[in-house]
Structure 1
Amino acid sequence: MKETVNHQQARLLLHNKFVVVLGDSIQRSVYKDLVVLLQKDRYLTLRQLKSKGEMSFELDCLVEGGCLDRMNNGTAYTEVRQYQSDHHLIRFYFVTRIFSRYMQSIIQDFRQGLKPDVVIVNSCVWDISRYNPKWVDDYKANLKRFFGELKSFLPEETLFVWNLTMPLGERIKGGFLVPERHAVPIVQPIEHKAPQLRYDVIEANFYGGTLADNYEMDVLDLHFQFRFSLQHRTKDGVHWNAIAHRRITALLLQHIAQAWGVMLTADEVPDQKSIYDCSTKFAAAATSDSFREEFTSDSLSGAFLSFEDKREPLSHRHENAENFRPVVLPQRPRLRRRPQQKYYVPPRHGVDNVPPSSHFEPYEDYHQPPNHQFVMRNRHSRRHYAPYTHHKPDHPPAHGYHY
């Protein structure tokens, strides 16, 4: 884990971009780490990793579900979060099944509203453990429905990244293994599935990665990337610490930069070292006194495993969650607003004074850095306008990296 990205690089790469993250608690931490990195160079705290359904996190707001509704471990639990700044919009949806009525409602929101620039998705552990003991056929059918729905309406320039599920421990425990109460039909206890689940995840990753590639969507193999980083997995055998999540963010942003044909370099941030020369930064962060609370122990409290909220649920939404008002960007007067949208986005085509070099043909360079040789890539090119970024050179640099 020697490579990372800093706050300035993340902020510039995702400038005026709408990013959607879909998935379980691991994906929620992916969303949280991205929100933190867009504001400052800091890791998630242990408390932030454990929290679920809170009203606000690092200036974001809870839109639906969470503590606004009944906190539980059931498959019907929902949580929608959103972080919005003058130039960034990040949204998270908690889902327990890759295709369901709830997922259809999310897709309908995208059909009628703002189209995301980046979609980051994973749904696996709940799918293969909570719905059907013989999960293979159902999971493959739901994957096909999900990919087909997104393929039918997402713009070609939208970057879709399917994250493969990270390695599970030999002994696992977590909220998804707790049987639902008052469910009809009654759900049988599923703790006995824990020893086999780590192998089922490998099989499910094969189906998910293969189908995503068949639908010409990108696949990021986090299972492979973290197979030798198990020291960063927490003691519940499922979740991961803040260092691992910053590494996930780095892999995602590096992949996004490559897909858009831009590179993350130290030139974008004055007095900053290259992102490929930061092994000492991770070591210092892990041993620093300022992070002692976060990294001295990976143990999880009972509250984290149960996800139960002992407080009374709030009867009303946070005032900031009722309406997201459009931001005003006086320094970019050419930005336009689409009808019924709550966020400004830059026009992608037909913009005057935009040099032709601002449109990129991604994945044309076949001299790939080592960390991307196990990433499936989209077969078609995307026309994408990414402001304030460096263009990918026609020839690879001497050190062999392209970001």
Structure 2
Amino acid sequence: MSRKKSITLLSVGHACVDIYQGAVASLVPFFVAERAYSYAAVSGIVLAASVLSSVAQPVFGLLTDRWAMPWILPVSTILGGLGIALSGLSGSYPLTLLFVAVSGVGVAAYHPESARVARLVSEGSHTAMGWFSVGGNLGFAAAPLMVTVVATGGLRLSPLLVLPALAGSVLCLPVLRALHALQKKTASDGSGSRAAAGVDDKASFVKLSLAVVFRSIVFVGLSTFISLYAQQRVGGGTTAGTVALFVLYSGGAVGSVLGGSLANRWDRVTVARWSYLLTIVAVAGTVFIPGPAFYAFVALTSIGLYVPFSLHVTLGQDYLPTRVGTASGVTLGLTVSIGGLASPLIGGIADATSLRTALTPLILMPFLSWLLFRTLPEPTTPKPATTARQSRESTEAELAPVRNHHR
């Protein structure tokens, strides 16, 4: 299978998984309307999906570094969809938390292994990894539309939300078969004897991870409350909220593609640094500017937060070249999970004061990410292979640590 086709299928599969991360925030207005949940209560639902995912993704990354687990892609996709599908069936708050948490574990299991597979089939291409990330952005963008269409008929129709998971689990199977064939081929030609080269830069990886955490707080905080905030700033009821959430998620697709393209012209650290600097202004506009211009600032915020999205992943993998799965689990997972830890705090402040007051501290977060990126070096990466044989050797170098563990 060609690299382009493999990345395309992985990107669509990524969309089918990340639609369930977007679905959690998209269900918030319906939980409020149908079950009269408070701001703090709906924040707890986001937290349920985020906490387990935050802890589990690095764990699954460690497992991925030790054993190749391609089978986990279809399994985790189904698990992610099943949890969200069941969350609307019971009015019980504890059961809702449980089902959303199950979905979070499924999403957590998916990302480290999918990032490892994407790295192998893309041969480290920034552009290809950008397109893989776009799939997740499109999943986020589709979530509010899908949830609105289904939940308008009542949360009792939530089992229909499992359909993207069923599709995604099937779409990843051809890629797994192609990867298996590649592993057999590279094992038979003897090119897998080399160990992966590189030395871990743990200090830079920690700084990168902190920058990702601050970025995550902004994104998850806005994801949780932007639909409710839009109704206050623009008017128009739930429609205004759905449009705001769609803009927040769809702008990420533009940012991810732009980030990969810019990284081919300038280095990744420089691109991420400028992106965070511009995001400070965009978040401030989102919080303080009313009327139709609100949507423009939401779009700029989304683009600014997602320009470095795929760059976080490749930077993390290059800072920890001997622990690619762990790096993927932390960088790709933390961008959409650990920020949820701040959501209950935001919700509590909003209940005590106002949403505007609660969202104002988010302006500081991209500034902190910018400060951290000022201290990060651009890692040196090996030149891409120029022949078929070199390409096979480069790919097998990534697979060698996994085989060594098997032995």
Bigger RCO of structures 1 and 2 (CA < 8 A, at least 6 apart)? 2
TM-score (norm 1): 0.25
* Structure with the higher helix share, 1 or 2: 2
Could you say which structure has the higher strand fraction?
1
TM-score by length of 2: 0.25
